[in-house]
Amino acid sequence: MNTMTDTVLTLDDAAKFLKVSPETVEGLLEGEELPGRQIGGEWRTTTRAVISFVDGVPLQVACCTSGACCTTVEGSALCCQPGETGCC
């Protein structure tokens, strides 16, 4: 994990980072526009996800244990094998 870009953010942390309200960030998370998940009922995301969202670049993440990777396209996970076009 790259500590510069993969820091875990709370809802409030992400809101401060984006300079918007926590309610705005919650709406982005609930609408699956900003990648994140609820852990113990609390939203978490990462700085990498927030930066990718702001840049308008799909977030690519490791997928399964097969070495495949995924990118989210219109709310759906698109997986491919390393080396394929559009893959990690």
Q: What pLDDT was estimated at residue 72?
A: 53
Q: What is the mean pLDDT of each run of 10 residues along the chain (88 residues)?
A: 68 97 97 93 93 78 51 54 54
pTM of the entire structure? Answer: 0.64
Q: 61 vs 14, 35, 83, CA distance in Å? A: 19, 11, 14
Whole-number pLDDT of residue 9? 96
- Answer for the pair 82, 69: CB distance below 8 angstroms, yes or no: yes
Predicted local confidence at residue 62, as pLDDT: 45
In this prediction, residue 48 carries a pLDDT of 86
Domains of the chain: 1-57 (1.10.1660), 58-88 (no CATH)
CA 76-4-81 angle, to 5 degrees, is 35
